[in-house]
Structures are given as structure tokens and as C-alpha cells.
Copies of this chain bind each other. A is one copy, B any other.
Amino acid sequence: MPELFDTAPLIRKLESIFVLSDEEKHAVQSINGTVKAFGAHEDVVREGDAPSVSCLLLDGFMHRYKVLPDGKRQILAIHTPGDIPDLQSLLLRRQDHSLAASVPSTAAFIPHEALRALIRSRPTVADLFWRDTLVDAAIFRAWIESLGRCSALGHLAHLVCEVYTRLRAVGLTNGCSYGLPFTQTELGDALGLSTVHVNRTLQEMRGEGLIEFQHGRLTILDWTRLKAAAQFDPGYLHLRDPHASV
């Protein structure tokens, strides 16, 4: 039962990385799909699936992850409202990773057929979506850089800076504070660290007066020093207005 849903998060997300014409905005607003709610830690799409719909996150948080044969988990990406975490399934049949709700979340499922019709009829909308997947890839590159060459503290700081900047670009921060609804184990799976070491790194960052983090809410206490510790440069996010974040 396709229905219209609130496209504001999607519009805000697309506008954060692209200038939209009125025509494009109307085209995007006309998208419809099936809205569904997910509980915390519930899988949305699983590795190996071949979905015929793509998922637009409307509210909550999602993350993408892989599980290795030996059982270890690696979180690949964190998604916020307006993201289409599995847009790539439009062109890559088999999912090479899974997608799950991090907290109770709602999402709209848009049939691939509808997306194809839309991008066929409006090539500039195709560019919007293509570009969105390219920014996604740019974020992966930044994660590779941090995983490969940063200390635990630098890497965690980078994650904090990135999520803050992305949320701020879509208007979901509250001053220097934002919701980061992940356990220390989940942060470890995102950063390639053990839970214990995440805990100690968080303590160090608190001790340094860089951040506060409790009950899933993160507060930045010293943006300048945090950014320096993370060696954070928001260029890779390809935001229209990168300085809106500072």
C-alpha cells in the first residue's frame, strides 16, 4: 500500500549536498512508498538479499555492518534521517552487507521501479541520487583513513566530528549536542576497537574536556581541540556549505 510520507528529511539531506531546482524538489516530493517501523537492533536488509525496494530513513538511526566468518562484526556506516542507506541496491542486485536499525526507527520503502521511472524521466534527479552514493563512498574513504592511520582517540574523535557535521547539515543538532544512540560495544564495532578500549578512550576524552557522552547523547565541549585531535577536515562530506558546521 504505497503512500505519501514526509519527504522533508530527504529534501534536507539532498539540499545539504546539492542545489535543488523547484522542479527537482517537486519530483522528489512526489515519491511514495511503504512506511514501516523497526525496533532497536532489528535488521532491515540482510547480506545476500536482493531487494526490489530501497530504504529511506525517516526517523531514528541505522547502521550498515558486515559479519566475518569468524563472527567479528564491523560497522561500515552510520545513517541519519534523510539518508537512503541501500540506494546501491538499485543497481547492485545482491547486498554485500546488512542494514539494521540502531534504535527504534521508521523508514519508507521505495520500489526500485518507481526510482527508475523517476530518474529516467528527470536526468537531473538521477544526478542527485548518483551524487548521494558518491558522498557515501567518500565517507567510506575517510573511515579507511582513520582506521588505518589514527589512534583510537583520533578515530573516535573523527567519528564524533563527522556525525556532528552531518547532523548539523540537516538540522538535527541541538547546539553542541546531538543524539548518538550507540553503546560502547557498537562504537567499538564501528571503530575496530574492543569495548574496553572504547570505554577507556571515552574517559580520556572526557578527562581532556573534549566531549561529554551519556545516555546516547553526545556534547562537544571543545570543538577546536576535538577537530585537531581528529585531524578533521569536512571537505570529504562535500557539503554545499561546509562552514555551517563550525
Contact = CB atoms under 8 A, between A and B. Distances in A.
How many copies of the chain does the oligomer comprise?
Answer: 2
Interface in A144-164: 144-145, 147-150
Nearest to A72: B149
A135 B92 contact: yes
Most chain B beta-carbon contacts within 10 A, residue among A66, A127, A143: A66
A64 to B, nearest CB: 8
A74 B145 contact: yes
Interface of A is mostly: helix
Contacts of A37: none
Contact of A238 (B66, B92, B189, B192): B92
A218 interface: no
Given A92-B135, A135-B92, A141 B238 contact: no
Interface in A109-150: 120, 123, 126-127, 130-131, 133-138, 140-145, 147-150
8 smallest beta-carbon distances between A and B, as pairs: A148-B192, A140-B140, A137-B137, A96-B236, A147-B147, A72-B149, A74-B148, A91-B131
